[in-house]
Structure 1
């Protein structure tokens, strides 16, 4: 007899996945409030996921090339996204506006791979991960790591620019 969790997984796993994807889509558009605690928590999870992918690449060499290419592509996309992200103060809070094209493209990549895997391979847990799937996962993890760290740096700069110390003149005229 299957456990209730295993028996109902085909129903709630896709629903939970769609909820997470909808949250991701929403974060790609419009002005977003800066939440430093949430970003720190996200960074910790991303570092853990990246470390796990690194260990996976070390123990399964057939995945290493896909993981490496995915990490490089993700880091480059993260840097490009940071270049096109605008940070500002709005109503006394730090905010950022991400580039919707880059985030939308990454979301489309994720949705496309999920759809392909579901329609062609199913979601069987016993399947070995493919280099393509792990490469795409690494693109998303690498992008997110670079983007979150870069956004933290930009927000710190924004806060320092608004501090009272930065309002003092850098040089005063001599009389």
Structure 2
């Protein structure tokens, strides 16, 4: 299956609030989930939301895995989250690195809750509640923002926390070298 192209910053679908998904499971929704998974894998991302492939639905995929961009990311199989909600959060807010398939060549230090309690519906229609922490919680919050028309750069309050991809990779390389030496 060919993965759809990713909507880039400036596309109106990225600034619109996505609509709730009705009946689950639904054949069209399952196909959309499969397209999202194909797209996140093809682009070596750790998450993707339906608006990023120009689909205005409240669905996203979390697919965390270590990579050169996120060398310490935990491994999580691609997981579809339909009509996701943030139920509560801890008090601790942490600034850490984020990028976005829809905002190429840009990285930023974004403040996010370190621990969150969430609810979502699975592709089979089961409603789940989970507590997510650290990097997985960050991905959830980033993708949830996409469903509300928010892009990670909107969350950056200090312009000095915004970097090019090349600058980011140099910083990551230096920090990884310090850890291994």
Q: TM-score, normalised by structure 2?
A: 0.31
The answer to which structure, 1 or 2, has the higher relative contact order (CA under 8 A, 6+ apart) is 1
More helix by share: 1
Larger Rg: 1
